Amino acid sequence: MGGSSETGYAAKHTPSAASQAALNTDKLEEVRKLFTAHLENKGLRKTGERYSILEEIYARSGHFDVDELYAGMKERGLQVSRATVYNTLDLLVEQGLVSKHQFGRNLAQYEKSYGYRQHDHVICTECHKVVEFCDPRIHGIQTMVGELLNFHILHHSLNLYGICGDCRAQAAARSSATPA
């Protein structure tokens, strides 16, 4: 297929800013309802701080750590303690509204997960950049392995580690600049 028809497809199927905002508002409302039910089921208080954290997470894109989330909330003038951020993240992970990742470092990374497609990660071992990708063949492998081993697969996690192109280029530049 030529580039022009792909561009036409993308233009026709890319949501407008207004429809994207409506989608995000609808998703946030669903997530709020699920979180409220979870808090009620556990007999926990429904505080403004917990909902602020939820909204901050669902306004973000990509991965974040606790310090980034906390600092972002402080910058916006939101009053929340670091302990509340940790405790709320634990509740959101438990509920399946947020995913927690350990990408080979001591620092946990998080990302929103409700209503987002399954994806996998490539992580640079030098700069720790995380790139998401989705390959439908992985779903096929998951299904085949489940059938072969008589497992009902609920979810999977695939992390590939390597050195990104930027870090390889920087290393090549350093080695070519070093006198022999």
Which residues are documented as binding site for Fe cation? 120, 156
Q: How far is CA 33 from the centre of its chain?
A: 20
DSSP string, 15-69: PPHHHHHHHHHHHHHHHHHHHHHHHHHTT----HHHHHHHHHHHH--S-B-HHHH
**In a 3-state reduction of DSSP, which class is residue 160?**
strand
Other residues' Cβ atoms within 10 Å of the Cβ of residue 14:
9
Residue stretches of the annotated binding site: 120, 124, 127, 156, 164, 167
Structure tokens at 12: 């026709």
Residues annotated within the binding site for Zn(2+) are 124, 127, 164, 167
